[in-house]
Amino acid sequence: MSHVDTPLEHDDRMEFQLERLILFTDAVFAIAITLLVIEIKVPELHHVQSERAVMIATLNLLPKFIGFLVAFFVIAIYWTAHHRVFRFVHRYTTGLIWLNIVFLLSIVLMPFTAAFQGDYPTMKTPWILYACCVIFTGLMQVRLQVYIRNPARGLTLRHHSTHPDLDPFRPLISVLIFSLSLVLSAVGFILAAKFTLLLIWPFMVLYNRYRYRPLLRAYEQRFGVAA
Amino acid sequence: MSHVDTPLEHDDRMEFQLERLILFTDAVFAIAITLLVIEIKVPELHHVQSERAVMIATLNLLPKFIGFLVAFFVIAIYWTAHHRVFRFVHRYTTGLIWLNIVFLLSIVLMPFTAAFQGDYPTMKTPWILYACCVIFTGLMQVRLQVYIRNPARGLTLRHHSTHPDLDPFRPLISVLIFSLSLVLSAVGFILAAKFTLLLIWPFMVLYNRYRYRPLLRAYEQRFGVAA
Amino acid sequence: MSHVDTPLEHDDRMEFQLERLILFTDAVFAIAITLLVIEIKVPELHHVQSERAVMIATLNLLPKFIGFLVAFFVIAIYWTAHHRVFRFVHRYTTGLIWLNIVFLLSIVLMPFTAAFQGDYPTMKTPWILYACCVIFTGLMQVRLQVYIRNPARGLTLRHHSTHPDLDPFRPLISVLIFSLSLVLSAVGFILAAKFTLLLIWPFMVLYNRYRYRPLLRAYEQRFGVAA
Amino acid sequence: MSHVDTPLEHDDRMEFQLERLILFTDAVFAIAITLLVIEIKVPELHHVQSERAVMIATLNLLPKFIGFLVAFFVIAIYWTAHHRVFRFVHRYTTGLIWLNIVFLLSIVLMPFTAAFQGDYPTMKTPWILYACCVIFTGLMQVRLQVYIRNPARGLTLRHHSTHPDLDPFRPLISVLIFSLSLVLSAVGFILAAKFTLLLIWPFMVLYNRYRYRPLLRAYEQRFGVAA
């Protein structure tokens, strides 16, 4: 820990400063994903404390539990996306910090919107709210990737800007699916709106085959390295 | 923080990316283990606020408190297991990330299942639910270790794959004990089901003597290093 | 991990010890910012569970939601300030640890004061309490920066003490605005008190133009480096 | 991230494994200290929503708020102690991990015991429970320091074992004060029991003058370095 007054700027702390931004993000993700469960309240049995009553109360938690599972994996998917994207980031700017904070805003809201739709599984409004929240997260993910891959900003090594893992079309898939789900819910097909989420898998398969792999091949041919 | 366009891939970030995965895991563990206590609600005395009433209310918390202690040590045991196993991991894959996330799902559920069984200490259903949750965690621990030690995946140094700390039989002990406890509870012996947990100690002693130590000796003889 | 008894002091751990202080701070920030949302309770509809009732209940959450947004960005602003300031810190003292802990005290209080004013958006007392909390945070931020930039303490490289990012006048802006808001609220103009917060933007613009940029130019001329 | 099979053991991960243990500890501390505030519930005014009613409800929170402040600083003191002590630790053992987990158990309990005594500020039982919790933390702190400074275990550099910051008498001060407070509370002097905590300051001053400084002088004379 030298105190020699060499004129080195805070660039020497760049790496830790960036790690701090990322670990703060991870802490917010970890808390949001763990708080999901405190919205599943232990059932209270005021009148009859029979084995049968407990079992029925447990089964009644099922819609809440399914809502919890969906929300858990939605947050997990965005965490893995953040983890995948930020491995290219070597520098930060004030702009990146604030884009990341607005991205986190949408994550922080999820324990509320997820619990709301878990409490009213047959209602439109909570699902619309939840879908809006996920769409907002997806759009912020797109915005982050467009910002990070922009070679003019110099946040990544220059050739990384064409890496398929920074392709902003991937986060658009969940934006598309949740928008479709939102519309279906708004016109009254609530069950269909929820099953729409299952479309994410085939869309991801199509995306991987017809966009990700060609991009990766192009990237590898140009830079001669296995990603 | 050089911006020279040397064609190094994100492998240079592998170490931090792996640390990020691990620290995210630790944050989830830390939150889950700390949230256990918010399920022990401060007793509310609406009618008589006497010293005696407070003491009785405190004593009534005892089953909840014992449930808290069990859940605290169950989560702590799985954290130490994760800490012990991941010291061998030098690389990550998308598969490892997702196995780890499903493992975390079972940890995140514990504040709920532990509070549920703490609130209804004499009922079957909550204990069965709790046992299922721990069994699921144990099986995911087995799955993680089988995945990590597989030399074909190259996540560890090759000779580490035979290290006894990666032996998938250890996590099977708690799976076995909790399965036994589940069966006992299902057929109605709830108290016995809970005391079954104490069997973990003798089983661990037997495991250490007849499997861990022989494996360790074999490992040390083969690679000539003290583990 | 050598055990050689070379007489090196714990200075060799200084870097990690400082990181530990910072990451602990970040964890507290992350929890405080995420806990804000658990104060927005899912509306309970006891009587009529109609689509209309859910929508009205959702709209009734609007003041709480606006309060959440304000609190989210207030905490985010102080996190970015901490992130900006601590990049200069190369050493810690017991004094710095305790100043930082008192600073965190004001952050930890925010989920409560923010929820209080979100529950009673038309009342004076909760807003005064909230403003006091933010003013306290701002003053602690000033105190931290004065402490850190003091060359006698040797926490930063000597020439950093004149870096404009350590200028203690910037955190005074929010102190000023929230004090004005507090006074307006105390004399009864509650709506005006809340809109006063929007003054932060023009004040920041003025601050940047007439103080930050001149300080930065002076700093760069003297030390010949781009900050 | 080489995959060369050089026979290096997991010792090369020792530093990160130790950091992981410490950062997990910090996360638990950070959550416990932030959860304290969620026990101060926003007052609910069912009948009259006047400015006066809000102010009275706020003032009624005062005992809870004082309890929160005490608990905040108790946890903060133990965090700084952990931070001070673990800077000497260069290796970990399974024993250290488990001592640390039992230490964390007492920290995790504090949001509950602190909220309990904050809710019943004039009752004996909650204060006795809270004092027991802090005494337990203090004794675990002593146990940790005795374990860490034991040269036979080789967790620190050998000469560090006599460093005054590892002196196990310091944590005994809070054990002593809280024991005194517990006795005073048990015999009915609840107010006196609480003011007893103020004795920590003079005792710390005496400790520093008559034990810490002589130990430090002896340490510096022997090893010729400024601590």
| pLDDT tens for each residue of B156-178 | 888 888 899 999 999 999 999 99
Question: Is the four-CA dihedral C73, C74, C76, C81 of positive or negative sign?
Answer: positive
A101–C83 C-beta distance less than 8 A: no
* C221 within 8 A of A4, measured Cβ to Cβ: no
Contacts of D91 in chain C (CB under 8 A): 1, 3
Predicted local distance difference test score (pLDDT) of residue C2: 32
Predicted local distance difference test score (pLDDT) of residue B206: 93
Question: Is the four-CA dihedral B171, B174, B180, B182 of positive or negative sign?
Answer: negative
A125–C37 C-beta distance less than 8 A: no
* C54 within 8 A of C45, measured Cβ to Cβ: yes
Residue spans of alpha helices (H) in chain A: 14-35, 51-60, 62-85, 94-119, 124-149, 169-186, 190-195, 200-207, 213-223
Residue C179, class by beta-carbon neighbours within 10 Å (0-12 exposed, 13-18 middle, 19+ buried)? middle
Phi and psi torsions of A43, nearest 5°? -60, 140
Mean pLDDT in residue range D203-211: 92
Predicted local distance difference test score (pLDDT) of residue D8: 38
Residue C162: band (very low, low, confident or very high) from pLDDT cuts 50, 70, 90: confident
Give whole-number Cα distances, C20 to A83, B163, D28, D30, D96, in Å. 22, 31, 13, 12, 19
Residue D204 pLDDT greater than 80, yes or no:
yes
Predicted local distance difference test score (pLDDT) of residue C9: 46
Percentage of chain A modeled with pLDDT above 70:
93
* D174 within 8 A of D200, measured Cβ to Cβ: yes
Closest residue in chain C to residue A185, using alpha carbons only: C51
Percentage of chain C modeled with pLDDT above 90:
62
Q: Rounded distance, CA B27 to CA C124, Å?
A: 38
| Tens digits of residue pLDDT in A59-92 | 989 989 999 999 999 999 999 999 999 999 988 9
Predicted local distance difference test score (pLDDT) of residue B226: 54
Q: Rounded distance, CA C178 to CA C200, Å?
A: 9
Give me the tens of pLDDT residue by residue for chain A, a chain 227 residues long: 333 333 334 456 788 899 999 999 999 999 999 999 988 888 888 766 788 888 998 998 998 999 999 999 999 999 999 999 999 998 899 999 999 999 999 999 999 999 999 889 889 999 999 999 999 999 999 999 999 999 888 898 888 888 999 999 999 999 999 999 999 999 989 889 999 999 988 999 999 999 999 999 988 888 876 54
Residue C26 pLDDT greater than 80, yes or no:
yes
Is D126 an interface residue toward B (CB < 8 Å)?
yes
Which of A15, A37, A76 is facing B1, going by the closest CB pair? A15
A17–C83 C-beta distance less than 8 A: yes
Residue C11, class by beta-carbon neighbours within 10 Å (0-12 exposed, 13-18 middle, 19+ buried)? middle
Amino acid at A171: P
The pair of structure tokens assigned to C225 is 């480096």
Q: Would you tell me how many other CB atoms lie within 10 Å of the CB of residue B75? A: 24
Closest residue in chain A to residue C92, using alpha carbons only: A1
Mean pLDDT, chain D, whole residue set: 88
Contacts of B31 in chain A (CB under 8 A): 30-31, 34-35
Q: Rounded distance, CA D223 to CA D2, Å?
A: 40
D91–C1 C-beta distance less than 8 A: yes
Q: List the one residue out of C208, C125, C224, C198 whose CA is nearest residue C165.
A: C208
Which of D6, D8, D35 is facing B38, going by the closest CB pair? D35
Phi and psi torsions of C60, nearest 5°? -65, -20
Closest residue in chain A to residue B94, using alpha carbons only: A80
Which residue has better confidence, D46 or A119? A119
Predicted local distance difference test score (pLDDT) of residue D139: 97
Is A123 an interface residue toward C (CB < 8 Å)?
yes
Which of C42, C88, C157 is facing A115, going by the closest CB pair? C42
Is B87 an interface residue toward D (CB < 8 Å)?
yes
Contacts of B12 in chain A (CB under 8 A): none
Is C74 an interface residue toward A (CB < 8 Å)?
no
Q: List the one residue out of B98, B97, B132 whose CA is nearest residue B116.
A: B132
Q: How many CB pairs under 8 A join A and B?
A: 101
Q: Rounded distance, CA C219 to CA B138, Å?
A: 58
Q: Rounded distance, CA B64 to CA B77, Å?
A: 20
D27–B31 C-beta distance less than 8 A: yes
DSSP annotation string for A19-46: HHHHHHHHHHHHHHHHHGGGGSPPPP-S
* B193 within 8 A of B127, measured Cβ to Cβ: yes
Predicted local distance difference test score (pLDDT) of residue D225: 61
| Tens digits of residue pLDDT in D130-185 | 999 999 999 999 999 999 999 888 898 888 888 999 999 999 999 999 999 999 99
DSSP state of A84: H
* D150 within 8 A of D176, measured Cβ to Cβ: no
- Greatest mean pLDDT among A112-121, B204-213, D131-140, D201-210 lies in D131-140
Predicted local distance difference test score (pLDDT) of residue A166: 92
A162–chain B nearest CA distance, Å: 13
Rg (CA), chain D: 22
Is D220 an interface residue toward C (CB < 8 Å)?
no
Least confident of A34-48, C106-120, D23-37: A34-48
The pair of structure tokens assigned to D18 is 């130790």
DSSP state of B210: I
Residue D215, class by beta-carbon neighbours within 10 Å (0-12 exposed, 13-18 middle, 19+ buried)? middle
Q: Rounded distance, CA B41 to CA D115, Å?
A: 9
B112–A223 C-beta distance less than 8 A: no
Q: Rounded distance, CA A40 to CA A42, Å?
A: 7
Is B27 an interface residue toward D (CB < 8 Å)?
yes
Contacts of B67 in chain D (CB under 8 A): none
Contacts of C189 in chain D (CB under 8 A): none
C120–D54 C-beta distance less than 8 A: yes
Residue B11 pLDDT greater than 60, yes or no:
no
B54–D7 C-beta distance less than 8 A: no
Predicted local distance difference test score (pLDDT) of residue D20: 94
Which of C10, C24, C105 is facing D87, going by the closest CB pair? C10
Q: Rounded distance, CA B185 to CA B126, Å?
A: 10
B7–A223 C-beta distance less than 8 A: yes
Mean pLDDT in residue range B142-156: 92
Is D37 an interface residue toward C (CB < 8 Å)?
yes
| Tens digits of residue pLDDT in A203-213 | 999 999 999 99
For chain A, list the contacting chains (3+ Cβ pairs, <8 Å).
Answer: B, C
Predicted local distance difference test score (pLDDT) of residue B50: 86
Is D38 an interface residue toward B (CB < 8 Å)?
yes
| Tens digits of residue pLDDT in B120-136 | 988 999 999 999 999 99
The pair of structure tokens assigned to D149 is 């400074």
* C223 within 8 A of C159, measured Cβ to Cβ: yes
| Tens digits of residue pLDDT in B14-38 | 888 999 999 999 999 999 999 999 8
Predicted local distance difference test score (pLDDT) of residue A8: 38
Predicted local distance difference test score (pLDDT) of residue C226: 53
D11–C1 C-beta distance less than 8 A: yes
Q: Rounded distance, CA A109 to CA C38, Å?
A: 9
Mean pLDDT, chain C, whole residue set: 88
D83–C125 C-beta distance less than 8 A: no
Residue B207 pLDDT greater than 90, yes or no:
yes
Q: List the one residue out of C104, C70, C92, C76 whose CA is nearest residue C197.
A: C70
| Tens digits of residue pLDDT in A103-112 | 999 999 999 9
Predicted local distance difference test score (pLDDT) of residue D9: 46
Residue D46: band (very low, low, confident or very high) from pLDDT cuts 50, 70, 90: confident
Which element (helix H / strand E) includes D101?
helix D94-119
Is C102 an interface residue toward A (CB < 8 Å)?
no
* A90 within 8 A of A155, measured Cβ to Cβ: yes
Residue C186: band (very low, low, confident or very high) from pLDDT cuts 50, 70, 90: very high
**Complex ipTM value:** 0.90
Predicted local distance difference test score (pLDDT) of residue C170: 92
The pTM score is: 0.92
Which of D17, D24, D39 is facing B87, going by the closest CB pair? D17
Residue D22, class by beta-carbon neighbours within 10 Å (0-12 exposed, 13-18 middle, 19+ buried)? buried
Residue D2 pLDDT greater than 50, yes or no:
no
